[in-house]
Chain A
Amino acid sequence: MSQAAAIDQQRVTDSQNAEAWRDPWSLPLESLDPARAILFKENVHEEYFRRLRQDDPVHYTANSEFGAYWSITKYNDIVAVDSNHKVFSSYKNIVVGDAPDEFYSPMFIAQDPPIHDVQRRAAQPAVAPTQLADLEALIRQRVCTILDELPVGEEFNWVDRVSIELTTQMLATLFDFPFEDRHLLPYWSDVATATPSTGRSDVTFEERNKVLQECLNYFGQLWHQRKNEPRKFDFISLLAHDPETKDMLDNPMEFLGNLILLIVGGNDTTRNSISGGVIQLNRAPEQWEKLKANPALVPNMVSEIIRYQTPLAHMRRTALEDIEFQGKQIKKGDRVVMWYISGNRDEEVIEEADKFKVDRENARRHVSFGFGIHRCMGNRVAEMQLRILWEEILNRFERIEVVGEPERVLSNFVLGYTRLPVVLHAK
């Protein structure tokens, strides 16, 4: 058993009531450690954040498997930290745990200006509005094919057949990745996010690194090929031709880091929002009826799904100087974790935040994409995929019935599902 798993085990055993960790209201406030991955897998994290928002919105956890860290839990505080990149740095880790130096792979999401700016600008044209307009017809055709091949009236795993398949096809297009090998992309993505830095105590950095070297080698070949061809609008070609990033392959760890960023960014997030929407509409059947009666609500519902799911639970910053924040003294070098999943439930900004409402007013006002210079680059691609998917679901099915408890990912970062058993009902 790894050290982190042992700590978790010990905590449970030590407690007079072995299940006490499930109820944060029964624990001393100072002991609350909301970064434990098990809380998210067991889906008990929401009460932790409800208590923190109420009793200690800027909370310090002195001891955790990741070291000490601050938790920012309120919507407006998250906006303030996220948009203050001069004090709250993204270098060189954006999840609560630090990657060990020997496995450190730089990526632009975990950089500050100016490196962040030039690399993001090089990659961004792949998801620019003009590109998206060209992609819409292709995505719709793929969505239709995926949905038309699904069995009606018998149980299957929605995560595999729809969520992973659709986002993988999209990602293959954004990289212009060989379509027949596309299953490698979610495989690498899952390996990349399953790290001890996000609470996966059952895997090691060594194992992860071995698989990611294969990813690096594969993309290295694509890079050489794209470099010798005229520039086009896939991520690899754009990076290989941009004056600021054309030598990135000379620093393989930096190339790998940015690959991971673009693969994970386009994969886990949309995938889990696709699954999350199915779950939310099952829990609130009246919302599904409302949507069926008025399909024009789809774009608004897409924002609501992304808020409600919050596919990335947190982003972490590091304080570059001492700063007083909401009455607390944050010291230079401290880890500062913005809990997006908590900001998206903040009743002070979002009315009836625990409710999923397809016709919510101001549904775009959520923190899932982050704010400031690191705001999600692919947010419109994500929204477009979800919009088209739900439009075509409404065209085809009476409803999607969830027939078993969803299985959740063990992570304090990726809020998602590995299994979602459903049965489709024909229209």
Chain B
Amino acid sequence: MPKITFIEFDGTAHEVDVPAGGSVMEAAVSNNVPGIDADCGGACACATCHVFVNEAWMDKVGERGDMEQSMLDFAENVRATSRLSCQIVLTDELDGLVVDMPEAQH
């Protein structure tokens, strides 16, 4: 079961263990980690599950998709490490993943 660490903007860390197969967004929402809105429920259509992937994990999480890129084009405070967490599918390879949250999802 992969372990993920979400770090809030104020530095508070939340460690959660979740089964592989779901998304990073779902891992946050189902464990009541604050800071992810996910208004569209995981359809890559609202850009309210924005996270910054820890540099060390950038290669492993893969690239942004086309639609994800389009949505991030209109998000705030986008960085090179920005991803929409509904588009990162959890695998055992991602055990230990660390993501930072933006100040707000809007």
Q: Which residues does A use to contact B, with CB under 8 Å?
A: 79-80, 82-83, 85, 113, 117, 120-121, 124, 128-129, 364-365, 369, 371-373, 375, 377, 379-380
Contacts and interface: CB of A to CB of B under 8 A. Distances in A.
> 8 closest Cβ contacts across the A-B interface?
A371-B45, A83-B45, A380-B106, A79-B43, A364-B39, A372-B45, A373-B70, A371-B40
Interface in B3-58: 37, 39-41, 43-47
B44 A83 contact: yes
B59 interface: no
Interface string B78-91: 00000000000000
- Specify which of A124, A364, A377, A380 lies most central, judged by the most chain B CB atoms within 10 Å of its CB: A364
- Specify which of A371, A377, A380 lies most central, judged by the most chain B CB atoms within 10 Å of its CB: A371
B67 A83 contact: yes
Contact of B39 (A124, A128, A365): A365
B76 A129 contact: yes
Nearest to A379: B106
B43 A83 contact: yes
Interface residues of B, number: 18
B41 A365 contact: yes
Contacts of A369: 39, 46
B45 A82 contact: yes
Contacts of A120: 74
A129 B106 contact: yes
- Specify which of B39, B43, B67 lies most central, judged by the most chain A CB atoms within 10 Å of its CB: B39
A133 to B, nearest CB: 10
A37 B45 CA distance: 29
A379 B73 CA distance: 17
A129 B104 contact: yes
16 contacts: A82-B45, A83-B40, A85-B70, A120-B74, A121-B73, A121-B74, A124-B74, A129-B76, A129-B104, A364-B37, A364-B39, A365-B40, A365-B41, A372-B67, A373-B70, A373-B73
Contacts of A379: 106
Contacts of B94: none
Contacts of B41: 79, 365
A365 B39 CA distance: 5
B61 interface: no
Contacts of B47: 375
Contacts of B71: 372-373
A267 B31 CA distance: 38
Nearest to B47: A375
A371 B46 contact: yes
Contact of B46 (A128, A129, A375, A380): A375
Contacts of A83: 40, 43-45, 67
Contacts of B74: 120-121, 124, 373, 375, 377
A82 B47 CA distance: 14
B31 to A, nearest CB: 16
Nearest to B29: A362
Nearest to B106: A380
- Specify which of B45, B67, B73 lies most central, judged by the most chain A CB atoms within 10 Å of its CB: B45
Contacts of A377: 74
B60 to A, nearest CB: 26
Contacts of A85: 70
Contacts of B76: 128-129
Nearest to B103: A129
A79 B73 contact: no
Nearest to A367: B40
A108 to B, nearest CB: 11
Contact of A79 (B37, B40, B104): B40
Given A79-B45, A380-B106, 9 more contacts: A79-B43, A85-B70, A120-B74, A369-B39, A373-B70, A373-B73, A373-B74, A377-B74, A379-B106
Contacts of A364: 37, 39
